[in-house]
A and B are shown apart, each in its own frame.
Chain A
Amino acid sequence: MAVQERLERLPYGLGRFTPAWYALAGVLLALVALGAYAYLRQLIEGLIVTGLRDLGTMRGAAWGLYITFDIYFVGVSFAGITMAALIRLLNLEALKPVSRMAELLTIIALLLAGLVILPDLGQPLRGIVNLFVYARPQSPFFGTFTLVIAGYLFASLVYFYLDGRRDAALCAQVPSRLQGFHRLWAAGYRDTPAERQRHARTSFWLAIAIVPLLVTAHSTLGFVFGLQVGRPGWFSALQAPGFVVMAGVSGIGLLLVVAAILRRVLRLQEELTPAVFAWLGRLLLLLIVIYLYFTAVELLTSLYAGHHHEVALTRALLVGEYSALYWVSMGSLVLALLLLVGQVALRAYSIPLLVLSGLLVNVAAIGKRYLIVVPSQTHGALLPYGVGWYAPTWVEYSIILGLFALGTFLYALFVKVFPIVEVPAVQGGKR
């Protein structure tokens, strides 16, 4: 039995590359080129071109912007799996329209997270080879590479592929330049009831399998820091759960922003109703509340019971050198919280305000990650070396900007070749 539904033309402007799209792609690729140039400089000169320096007598920070954004990118990947799990396990049909855009966000974010590790390595080629050849499970990095990059990304790709097969089969019937690609993706899928059931069952079990991966993968990144006994501010049992929750905050926040942009650009007002945004907003609210609770617990513990290094570090965050960034981050979180609480209390949701909350929490996410990575190195020395200092250079900023541009480009490209929301059922050849 063949696919009963028939599309007359590809939906959502697939395959139609407008001048505006080319302009956007041009700008993005120019930024990618800038990042590539910066990385080339770094490969030739060494990491001396970054603002990173040794701890100890050199009084710098050995980890900086690259690690900050690695955590950020992995954090953003939270969105996709969570959506998939909520839809499949809790039968939340309301969230279905954002399912694929969330999955794509996850995949691209994980790709960027893998890429941003490379400029952080002094010997990137050895990194690629030795991490396989001499892998040590005792290192907290091991979990980051296996669970996050390999397991999480692979499971997401499989889920993404299976989830898209029906739409690929539909699109493959429309003659276009993309037909071959759609036919390849569909891979013989015909949307018979048996096939549909098999897919639903596979996706369900896959979603169940991915949920523990979600927690462990984000936790391993927290363990990279939380298991270090010699760094005040890092050594904390709250680090891993904090990473999971902050990942959720930034992931759901960015999904709100992406969904709003796609809604405007692709005219998806019918599919992406305000109810979908309201759902995401409530979920975001819950996660922010948990995160603020964690923050309060951590502050109280370090100020009340921490040894003098811990107190000095906390003081640097609250009133010292890092206070501006600290209060901008916390202020953004609290402002986002207030915006969401107001909307939930009044039961009146506004998409621009929800998007604003999404942007604010991402500012906070980047800020808080920086505040986890850097101050413990510059202000956390246990021997009296004195206070250290770190400021990123243009090379680091350019590489990060280039990666953001690369991610946006890939997203924009995908939206043009594959339906980003599920193609609605059609009957008799009409939509």
Chain B
Amino acid sequence: MARYGMVIDLDRCTGCRACVEACKVENNTPRGSFWMHVFRFEEGEFPNTRVWFMPRPCMHCDNPPCAKVCPVGARYKRDDGLVATDWKRCIGCRYCEVACPYGVNCFNWKSPEKNYYLDWQDPELTARTNGAIPPYKNPDLEGRYGPEQRHVAGGGHLKGVMEKCTFCVHRVEKGLSPACVANCPLFALHFGDLDDPDSNVSRLLREKRSFRLLEELDTQPRVHYVGSGHAPGAEARQIEHVKGRI
């Protein structure tokens, strides 16, 4: 059994947010939902300032606080290390969301039809698309995955259900890497088997200094950061005002 993990090279990241975009397109996430987020930080006082960037997917912790508290087992840890959300079982209590110290959970506050950037029912828009059905339903997201055959790939973004980064389980099970990794123009994101000594993630972890986020909480994240960076401390400020709106 593979033990999947992600390695993010902070020396390579330029904060372009192609990964955020790739995730939104691949998973058709609703408005205001960012399964992947890229922090853009500034540090220090003028003239000794530094700007740096930190992509933040779900950490897929080995000791996941979210899966621990789920009252119905909709959020669970798979054998291959992915922390999955069964969108057909979730009751929408949002306990996983308040338990997660990384803030990666996204709730579906509205019904899917009303939850997108474009109003597909808009007559002006339908005139331009000649009635073609907009591709906001990725059929792969509806399927069952893993040995448990559960609905863990994001689904139809059902109202009142919790979701988050799936590590693109529907791609990983086909042997592809997650959309964010595949689309990073600078190869800052890497995905692979942490148990395989020849995988690129294992190699990077051997060669470069690494850290994980909030290690002191003992959540044991599967996302490792490598490079000359460090975990954001109390002095880290985001460059721009970030607030997802729906």
- A57 near B232 with CB under 8 A, answer no
Instruction: From B68, B91, B98, B236, give the contact of A131 (CB < 8 A).
Output: B91
Contacts of B110 in A (CB 8 A): 45-46, 48
CA separation between A192 and B213, bound complex, in Å?
A: 70
Number of A positions contacting B (CB below 8 A): 47
B137 within 8 A of A: no
- B91 near A130 with CB under 8 A, answer yes
Summed over the interface, the residue pairs from A and B with CB atoms below 8 Å come to a total of: 173
- A230 near B234 with CB under 8 A, answer no
| Complex interface: stretch among B10-18, B44-52, B156-164 | B156-164
B45-67 CB contacts (< 8 Å) to partner A: 56, 65
A200 within 8 A of B: no
Residue in A63, A121, A384 with the greatest tally of chain B CB atoms within 10 Å: A384
Given A48-B246, A121-B93, A122-B161, decide whether A55 and B103 contact each other with a Cβ distance below 8 A.
yes
Instruction: From B33, B68, B108, B232, give the contact of A122 (CB < 8 A).
Output: B108
Instruction: From A47, A48, A63, give the contact of B98 (CB < 8 A).
Output: A63
A127-149 CB contacts (< 8 Å) to partner B: 127, 130-131, 133-136, 138-142, 145
B109 within 8 A of A: yes
Complex: chain A residue closest to B217, CB-CB? A229
- B69 near A386 with CB under 8 A, answer no
Instruction: From A131, A228, A383, A384, give the contact of B237 (CB < 8 A).
Output: A384
A8 within 8 A of B: no
B22 within 8 A of A: no
Instruction: From A47, A139, A145, give the contact of B95 (CB < 8 A).
Output: A139
A382 within 8 A of B: yes
Contacts of A63 in B (CB 8 A): 94, 98
B195-217 CB contacts (< 8 Å) to partner A: 213-214, 217
CA separation between A185 and B38, bound complex, in Å?
A: 64
- A386 near B238 with CB under 8 A, answer yes
**Whole-angstrom distance between the Cβ of B38 and the nearest chain A Cβ:** 10
- B242 near A57 with CB under 8 A, answer yes
Contacts of A58 in B (CB 8 A): 32, 106, 243-246
- A141 near B214 with CB under 8 A, answer no
Known contacts A57-B244, A227-B69, then 5 further A-B pairs from the complex at CB < 8 Å, ordered by chain A residue: A57-B103, A122-B91, A122-B92, A229-B65, A229-B218
The 8 closest A-B pairs by CB, nearest first: A122-B92, A122-B160, A230-B101, A56-B103, A141-B71, A134-B72, A58-B244, A127-B91
